[in-house]
Chain A
Amino acid sequence: MFLIDCPYCKESRDQNEFSPAGEAFIARPQNPEDLSDAEWADYVFYRSNHKGDQWEQWVHTNGCRKYFLVKRSTISHEIIKVAAFGEVTSDSEL
Chain B
Amino acid sequence: MQKKYSWYSLLKAGFSDQDWDQAIPLVEPKSKYDVIIIGGGGHGLATAYYLAKECGITNVAVVEKGYIGGGNTGRNTTIIRSNYLRDEASSLYEHSMKLWEGLSEDLNFNVMFSQRGVYNLGHTLQDMRDIERRVNANVLNGVDAVVVDAKEIKEQIPIINTSKNVRYPIMGSSFQARGGVARHDGVAWGFARAASILGVDIIQNCEVIDIEVEEGRVKGVKTTKGDIIADRVGCVSAGHSSVIAKMAGLKVPVESHPLQAFVSEAMKPILHTVVMSNAVHGYVSQSDKGDLVIGAGIDGYNSYAQRGSAKIVEHCAAAILELFPIFSRVRMNRQWGGIVDVCPDACPIISPTKVEGLYFNCGWGTGGFKATPGSGNVFAHTIAQDKQHELAEPFHIDRFTSGALIDEHGAAGVAH
Contact = CB atoms under 8 A, between A and B. Distances in A.
Given A1-B309, A51-B243, A74-B256, A46 B400 contact: yes
B255 A38 contact: no
Nearest to A15: B309
A37 B401 contact: yes
A47 interface: yes
Contact of B303 (A42, A45, A77): A77
Contacts of B309: 1, 15-16
A74 B242 contact: no
B311 A37 contact: no
A90 interface: no
B109 interface: no
B405 to A, nearest CB: 9
B226 interface: no
Interface in A15-63: 15-16, 19-20, 23, 37-38, 40-42, 44-51, 54, 56
B344 interface: yes
Nearest to A58: B301
B304 interface: yes
Interface string B390-413: 000000000011110000000000
B254 interface: yes
B311 A16 contact: yes
A34 to B, nearest CB: 16
A54 B302 contact: yes
Contacts, number: 62
A92 interface: no
A37 B402 contact: yes
Given A16-B309, A45-B253, A49-B255, A75 B401 contact: no
A53 to B, nearest CB: 11
B305 A19 contact: no
A67 B186 CA distance: 46
Nearest to A76: B305
A38 B402 CA distance: 8
A14 to B, nearest CB: 9
Nearest to B241: A49
11 contacts: A1-B309, A15-B311, A19-B300, A20-B299, A20-B302, A41-B400, A41-B401, A49-B242, A49-B256, A75-B304, A76-B305
Given A49-B255, A51-B240, A56-B301, 7 more contacts: A44-B400, A45-B253, A46-B251, A48-B251, A49-B254, A74-B305, A75-B305
Cβ-closest 10 pairs across A and B: A20-B301, A49-B242, A41-B401, A45-B253, A20-B300, A45-B400, A16-B311, A41-B400, A45-B344, A46-B253
Interface of B: 240, 242-243, 251-256, 299-305, 309-311, 344, 400-403
Interface of A: 1, 15-16, 19-20, 23, 37-38, 40-42, 44-51, 54, 56, 72, 74-77
